[in-house]
Amino acid sequence: MKISSIKAIPWSPDQTPDSYGVLASRNFVAVKVETDEGITGWGDATVGPLSVANMVEELGDIILGEDPARIDYHWERLYHLNHVQGGPIQLSAISGIEMALWDIKGKSLGVPVYELLGGKFRDRIWTYGRWDGITPEAAVEHALSQKSKGLTALKGDPFDHKGLFISYEAEKKAVDTLAAVREAVGNDMELLVECHGRLAPSSAIRIANEMEQYRPFVYEEPVPWENLDALQRVAEAVNIPIATGERLYTKWDYAQLLNRNIVAMIQPDIIQGGGISEMKKIAAMAAAHYVGYQSHAIHGPMDVCSALHIAASIPNFMINEGGNYFRWREIAEDMVMGEFPNLTDGYVSIPTSPGLGVAMNEEWLGKHPPVETRSQPGNAIWAQQAGRLPSKQFEQWNP
């Protein structure tokens, strides 16, 4: 079997509420890899900028005519192709292609991808929803709605500020929101607190110590991701388990993080992190440090399904990102071919069809072209919401 075509297909769904309850348009990039034997694989190279689509096809040309089964070989070849390696665009392009190659391999052998990763450790995947809300009352309403669906874990970002320096008003509101949600859902619901890397270390420590009484499951990305010394300062000063990793790349970044023994759970992004093979290696590194694993799966359906195959096959899986799973589940009948995983009592089923389990519906993709980002903010999925407390420094970071 030989690779005959590699194509990137940018797309954007209709404006639908994201996991924060906000109407948002965002651009995604599907990857289609065809073979001379008629087996097609699908992947996801979404990173934000549509320039990744050009990189997918530029790198794809390098391996045309090659055996699609040599997945790790192709990864190394494409990663070391140029003098400078890594970064979100190159890694996302490689990962989108790699994901599709795993899909092809599973289909060619007639087995789901998790069988090729060592087989199943578990038969269903524990998954969290969201407890976000513009006000404490809205957050409570959101959390109770999610609980009524059988979810037993929820994650929320209660921070209204943008930038690095939180105001007293925003800090108090964040703590009050968590307190209100905890009281409403009870102690048997796991609550994850998401900071999106926008707290200074001193604020992150003070807020975590205020939130500790409400028993957060993890305290995610309390400080910007670039400085591991700052993260270590926070981890050593608080009693809440620390989670981080969605903006780290490859096993080399994770070696530096894990060797510090400061996190309880890592959250690699399958696309920006290097693909399915790289996730399996990173998960094994984390297991050696007694650290849990959760894929950061907030992109398209192929990314979401890839996360389930990884979660199914590793010993140190901790919990699964609900992310866009809930968004795609509402429209899966139209956007994908095959059976999209189901949610029952807070657990998502594992795809059992050969490959990754579903395929993108190319006709549907053609009817959902990407948003023109020069004329409207197509990638502003986390745009400042009405009613939120502005930064006193007028910073407008996106998480």
Question: Catalytic residues, which ones?
Answer: 196, 296
Residue 279 corresponds to which tokens in the numbers above? 């996730």
Cβ atoms 276, 270 nearer than 8 A: yes
Residues whose CB falls within 8 Å of the CB of residue 398, separated by 6 or more in sequence, listed in order: 162, 380, 381, 382, 383
Buried/exposed code over 181-212 (b: 16+ C-beta within 10 A; e: otherwise): bbebbeeebbbbbbbbbbbbbebbbbbbeebe
Helices 301-313/88-109 angle, 10° precision: 70
The sign of the torsion formed by the CA atoms of 89, 92, 95, 97 equals negative
Cα separation of 253 and 214, whole Å?
32
Residue 218 corresponds to which tokens in the numbers above? 């993890």
Cα separation of 325 and 231, whole Å?
29
Residue 355 corresponds to which tokens in the numbers above? 């490959």
Residue in this structure with the two tokens 């794809």, named with its chain if needed: 60
Q: What angle do CA 262, 268, 273 make, to 5 degrees?
A: 125
Cβ atoms 335, 304 nearer than 8 A: no
Report how far apart, in Å, the C-alpha atoms of 164 and of each of 197, 231, 384, 394 are: 8, 14, 15, 11
Nearest residue to 267 (alpha-carbon basis) of 233, 305, 230, 310: 310
